[in-house]
Amino acid sequence: MTAAAFAFRGRPVVVGAGVAGLMTALELAPRPVVVLSKGPLGVEGSTLWAQGGMAAAVGRDDSPTLHGADTIAAGDGLCDAAIVDRFTRAAPKAIEKLARLGVRFDRKSDGGFALGLEAAHSRARVARVGGDGAGRELMRALVAAVQATPSIAVLEGFEARRLLVEDNAVRGLIAVGPSGPALFATDRVVMATGGIGGLYAESTNPLRSFGQGLALAARAGAALADMEFVQFHPTALDVPIRPLPLVSEAVRGEGALLIDERGERFMADVPGAELAPRDVVARAIWRLRAKGGRAFLDARAAIGAKFEARFPVIAAACRAAGVDPTNEPIPVRPAQHYHMGGIGVDAEGRSSVAGLWACGEAAATGLHGANRLASNSLAEAAVDAAIVARSVDGAKAHARAPAPHASAPPVGDPAAVRPILSRAAGVVRNGETLSATIGGLADMAASNGPAADSAAVALIIAVAALRRDHSLGAHYRSDFPSAPTARERFRLTLVDAFAAAAAFVPPVLARRTSIGRA
Ligand SMILES: Cc1cc2nc3c(=O)[nH]c(=O)nc-3n(C[C@H](O)[C@H](O)[C@H](O)COP(=O)(O)OP(=O)(O)OC[C@H]3O[C@@H](n4cnc5c(N)ncnc54)[C@H](O)[C@@H]3O)c2cc1C
């Protein structure tokens, strides 16, 4: 055990330093907490890259009820209504709290929040921060607040590699830091490790966001939930750069139109048109491309010369790719963007393993259902951080003996998984490809290779997608295009997924567990 880990014995450990991890630590203050940050503080994770802002019913014409109805409609009826209700009521206060913490939200001349309109929102309700640079400003303020809070110890360059669990309860955590492996003896861990985009060949997420927290939780025996629901953003910049730069929905919110290579609108007759839910627009573009076409976002008439001032981050990405959005249509394509699934948690953020909580994109709370409503994720993390912190603080800390020592697994590398998962669990899936995939993923997950943990997460996604033999929200099966008659959420453990792969047939997955709340 390194000296650093020893000094923090018994303290709760938050894994991840995006909005979810940093807000959880701030909410725990003045109670002491350790935050593990894989990279230097403030430079890693999706939060930094967020563009549009945070959804909350703060406009005069808005209400939590309307926000909730839009969330449930986008989620295709699979959302947990009680969680949606709690979230939409709490989101305005969470935004005010962030403003008090120093986040400089864009304001109108009367002092109210400047609000953007995004897809599937019936009102302009996305509180903008720094134009299209919401994440940068959010992280600047949160890092400053954390650095000014003496009860928070941030360990930079520490990557969590394994949870130590005994009798289905957390006993410790192994991380690797700048001086080698470190064992944290703790019975309270919060996973705030973000999304899974790095498991896909085309994603808008940072490459190092590849679901490590989900793998750690799954290897510790925790159930993962809603894993088949992967959101593909319809308008990533179609350039040979990885990760793909995002062209925020706010651009369509300001009137930009989707056109094909002949200059014709292809969303005009679809309900919601360009601002239909993300899964609908992503599939339309996927179909166009499958037929050999190409999609473009035409901002010339609606935004024109104002593009640079209104969307400086997107304008810079376009410029770097040789595209001038004021004078030419922007080439766009779908790319993995967000994961509705994650570590299955109850209303307090508790997983099925005692002492393990999850917050932010790593958690599956039931808020997003089958498809996340745009800009609900930053706000969800801010709201849930307070709930998780209360639960962690209220949990009894046990004075257990130090957890048994185990060696740290090697550094993970998802490269081998990317092409497999992208082919099997992309915008459109089918049973044949999914079935043909799970055996290989199971072998890889059972190996000691660098892709083992990534393969474990990919396996659970593929098995969940195979199990769901209908189409719902972001999960579209070409062999089962109809919606189900009943909406149900599913949990799977890694053991379930291995069993399914061994049997290699969908009926093995008949063991359904609806998500219960403690
Ligand atoms: C380009 C882009 C634009 C977006 N725009 C918006 C938007 O406008 N509005 C909105 O609501 N949402 C947006 N999203 C989604 C949103 O940014 C994310 O869902 C949210 O930031 C996730 O926050 P998080 O704290 O859960 O994870 P992250 O911000 O990804 O942070 C995860 C943290 O965990 C660390 N970590 C991971 N694994 C380990 C490990 N093993 N050990 C130690 N540390 C680890 C990472 O280094 C990082 O610090 C966008 C996403 C992208 C990619």
Residues 6+ apart with CB under 8 A from 197: 46, 203, 204, 205, 206, 207, 209, 210, 243, 336, 337, 339
Tell me the mean pLDDT in the region 407-416.
93
Tell me the mean pLDDT in the region 87-112.
96
pLDDT tens, position by position, 315-341: 999 999 999 999 999 999 999 999 999
Residues 6+ apart with CB under 8 A from 424: 433, 434, 436, 437, 462, 465
Atom 17 of ligand 1: nearest residue by CA position:
47
> From the alpha carbon of 250, which atom of ligand 1 is closest?
8
pLDDT at 47 over 70: yes
- Distance from the CA of 116 to the center of ligand 1, in angstroms? 21
> Which residue type does 190 have?
V
pLDDT at 516 over 90: no
Mean pLDDT, the chain, rounded, equals 94
> From the alpha carbon of 158, which atom of ligand 1 is closest?
43
pLDDT tens, position by position, 108-126: 999 999 999 988 999 999 9
Residue 6's pLDDT band (boundaries 50, 70, 90)? low
489 Cα distance to chain centroid: 18
Q: What's the pLDDT at 408?
A: 87
pLDDT at 515 over 60: no
pLDDT at 243 over 90: yes
Question: Does ligand 1 come within 6 angstroms of the Cβ of 16?
Answer: yes
Both tokens assigned to 84: 């949606």
Q: What's the pLDDT at 396?
A: 80
Tell me the mean pLDDT in the region 374-397.
96
Residue 132's pLDDT band (boundaries 50, 70, 90)? confident
Question: Does ligand 1 come within 6 angstroms of the Cβ of 51?
Answer: yes
pLDDT at 36 over 80: yes
pLDDT at 419 over 60: yes
> From the alpha carbon of 337, which atom of ligand 1 is closest?
53
Give me the residues paired with residue 330 across strands.
Answer: 297
- Distance from the CA of 413 to the center of ligand 1, in angstroms? 19
- Distance from the CA of 478 to the center of ligand 1, in angstroms? 30
Choosing from 205, 378, 453 the residue with most ligand 1 atoms within 8 A of its CB, the one to mutate for a pocket test is 378
Q: What's the pLDDT at 224?
A: 98
Q: What's the pLDDT at 68?
A: 98
Backbone phi, then psi, for 223, in 5-degree steps? -80, 135
Closest to 423 (Cα-Cα) out of 201, 260, 232, 195: 201
Tell me the mean pLDDT in the region 260-265.
97
Q: What's the pLDDT at 503?
A: 85
Q: What's the pLDDT at 71?
A: 97
Question: Does ligand 1 come within 6 angstroms of the Cβ of 56?
Answer: no
Select which of 162, 188, 278, 350 is catalytic. 278
pLDDT at 406 over 80: no
Residue 509's pLDDT band (boundaries 50, 70, 90)? very low
- Distance from the CA of 193 to the center of ligand 1, in angstroms? 7
Which H/E stretch holds residue 498? helix 494-503
> From the alpha carbon of 204, which atom of ligand 1 is closest?
53
Question: Does ligand 1 come within 6 angstroms of the Cβ of 338?
Answer: yes
Look up residue 49 and give its DSSP letter: G
Q: What's the pLDDT at 400?
A: 67
Report the share of the chain in percent with pLDDT over 90: 89
Atom 33 of ligand 1: nearest residue by CA position:
16
Distance CA 194, CA 19 (A): 9
pLDDT tens, position by position, 339-364: 999 999 999 999 999 999 999 999 99
> From the alpha carbon of 17, which atom of ligand 1 is closest?
49
Tell me the mean pLDDT in the region 282-311.
96
Q: What's the pLDDT at 513?
A: 41
Both tokens assigned to 496: 């379930």
Tell me the mean pLDDT in the region 164-190.
95
pLDDT at 460 over 90: yes
Is the separation of the CB atoms in 464 and 340 below 8 Å? Answer: no
Determine if the pTM surpasses 0.75: yes
- Distance from the CA of 228 to the center of ligand 1, in angstroms? 19
**Is residue 60 annotated as a catalytic residue, yes or no?**
no
pLDDT at 399 over 80: no
Q: What's the pLDDT at 5?
A: 66
Question: Does ligand 1 come within 6 angstroms of the Cβ of 136?
Answer: no
pLDDT at 197 over 70: yes
- Distance from the CA of 226 to the center of ligand 1, in angstroms? 18
Q: What's the pLDDT at 506?
A: 47
pLDDT at 517 over 70: no
Q: What's the pLDDT at 192?
A: 98
Distance CA 96, CA 138 (A): 13
